[in-house]
Structure 1
Amino acid sequence: MQSDNRDNSAGRVVGDLKQDILQGFFAPGEKLAMARLKARYNVGVGPLREALSQLLIEQLVVVENQRGFRVHPISKEEMLDIYQTRARIEALCVGLAIDQGDDEWEAGILAAAHKMHKFSSAMEADPQEWERRHHEFHSAIVAGCNSPTLLEVRRSLYEKASRYRNLWLTGNMQQTDFFDANRKEHDRLTEALLKRDRDTACQLIEQHLLSPSKALLASQTIPDKTV
């Protein structure tokens, strides 16, 4: 029974710590002191080490010899690699979804798009809720690809990209021009998907996913190389 409790604690901490890293509670490169983690997550060293080891595999933390763990640092070089790779993988998933998706897939896209647009006017008040609905929309459009392996690769890239996107969103939620353009991109993408226009949809999703990286480069908030 004690083993089950330990496993449950480690599993909970993995999820909670991952979200804190992705949402920027712990800054890139910040040292993850055990005392602070124990107090925040109310667990012992054992579950914390298990959680940190898992996040090390997922490249969200790094380990220093005899110095513990730090949040994985960020850089323009890594950001561009993540966004470019993610855009290509997403386009591949979208193309397969158009080829194989059924009526249920189309209905899922419409429902997710409606929920996202319905909340768009309140995104400044609750950016995390908007991000959740935005994520659900992008998950819905690729759901028809029927490739668990591709979807797992996509999930990992989404999480890594979200660290960078959240850094930008924190200081730019009031830039209405950007979000107006973002909404129009979603509308054009939804239209192409429902028309089964493979070439247009794949082109649009690549352009859409690369847009945040261009905004991040222009913001000058990310170091050129990992330090």
Structure 2
Amino acid sequence: MSDARTSAVPATVTLSTTLVARLRDAIMRGELLPGSKLNLDRLRTAFGVSLSPLREALCRLENDGLVALIDQRGYRVTPVSASNLTEIIRLRIELEGLAIKEAIEHGDVAWEGRILAALHQLSRCKRGARSAAEQEAWETAHRAFHAELISACQMPLLRQFCATLHDQSDRYRRIFLKKHAPDRNVPAEHTALAHAVIERRTRDATRILREHIERTGRNIQAALLLSAK
């Protein structure tokens, strides 16, 4: 009997984790629109699961700021707003800047190699591609690159906070890219950032990171203001 209980727990965890990933993808891609109500019965049917793992997955996404529980009216995809984006930008600059400083202090040669490998992988992907598969490949490589920059940071909670903020920021950027073509040389920004980090130029690295995040934020803020008119 103990064996049965032991084997059942990982299956439940795996199902919930899989649901989190699938729901996150649907939110990030805009299949579940900002502010839209999440009908649990429809989601349960669509994903072929019971309510228990679905509720657990939604709770985890609520912790990540991607869904919100509205009183007793159920879950909604977190709305987008200029004020929320401003907060995300400020927090990303502060926390990722700190994480990069820590990573530069503790990173080794193998870490430097992983950054260059992630940069190369990202450079092989096409940003703003018309193909959904190509765009998704870029998104995956982009997230991996930014994660690798801070992977040598020896503060797990800080890395976790950065990952959560990156997801929230990416949601805004993906919404922006659906209606606007890439408008600047982002690959050059990534290259400059990577080299500043592996060359241990901490001040340059944090400045380039700040400017990189702020440029994206300004473009999205302008689009949000236009859509509100």
Report the TM range for the smaller structure's normalisation. Answer: 0.7 to 0.9
Partner in structure 2 of residue 99 of structure 1: 105
Q: Superposed, which structure 2 residues align to 1:167-178 within 5 Å?
A: 167-172=175-180, 174-175=181-182, 177-178=183-184
CA deviation after TM superposition for structure 1 residue 166, in Å: 1.1
Asked whether the equivalents of residues 75 and 222 of structure 1 are also in contact (C-alpha less than 8 Å), the reply is no
Which of these residues, 37, 45, 64, is aligned with residue 51 of structure 2? 45
Q: Cα distance 1:110–1:41, how it changes in 2: closer, same or farther (>3 A)? A: same
User: How far 1:121 sits from its partner (Å)?
Assistant: 6.8
Q: CA deviation at 1:15?
A: 2.0
CA distance in 2, matches of 1:52, 1:190: 35
Q: What's the RMSD between the two structures over aligned residues? A: 2.1
Displacement, 1:132? Answer: 0.7
One-letter identity of the residue aligned with 1:60 = L
Secondary structure, aligned partner of 2:105: helix
| Rounded Cα–Cα distance in structure 2 between residues aligned with 1:16 and 1:220 | 26
* Structure 1: distance between partners of 2:127 and 2:58: 37
Residue 203 (structure 2) aligns with: 199
Q: CA deviation at 1:46?
A: 2.1
| Residues in 1 aligned to 2:12 and 2:148: alpha-carbon distance in whole angstroms | 34
Distance 1:141 1:64, change over 3 A: closer
CA distance in 1, matches of 2:25, 2:225: 21
User: In 2 relative to 1, CA 81–26 (structure 1 residues): closer, same or farther, beyond 3 Å?
Assistant: same
Q: CA deviation at 1:14?
A: 1.9
1:123–1:129: 8 Å Cα contact kept in structure 2? no
- Kindly provide the amino acid, as one letter, of the partner of residue 73 in structure 1: P
Report the AA paired with residue 33 of structure 2. A
Answering whether residue 166 of structure 2 is matched by residue 162 of structure 1, we say no
Give the residue type in structure 2 aligned to 1:197.
Answer: R
> Structure 1 residues 223 and 52, CA, compared in 2 at 3 Å: closer, same or farther?
farther
Give distance in 2, aligned partners of 1:212 and 1:219: 11
Scaled by the length of structure 2, the TM-score of the pair is 0.87
Same amino acid, percent of matched pairs: 29
Pair 1:210-2:218 in alignment: no
TM-score normalised by structure 1 residue count: 0.88
| 1:177-227 deviations in Å (ceiling 9; x for gaps) | 42xx21111121122123211111111011111221101012136877xxx
For structure 1, list consecutive stretches of 5 or more residues without a partner in the other structure.
none
Separation in 2 of the partners of 1:75 and 1:122? 23
Answer whether contact 1:94 1:202 (CA < 8 A) is retained.
yes
Q: How does 1:2-41 map onto structure 2 within 5 Å?
A: 4=9, 5-41=11-47
- Unmatched 5+ residue regions in structure 2? none
2-side partners of 1:159 and 1:12: how far apart? 17
Alignment length (residue pairs): 220
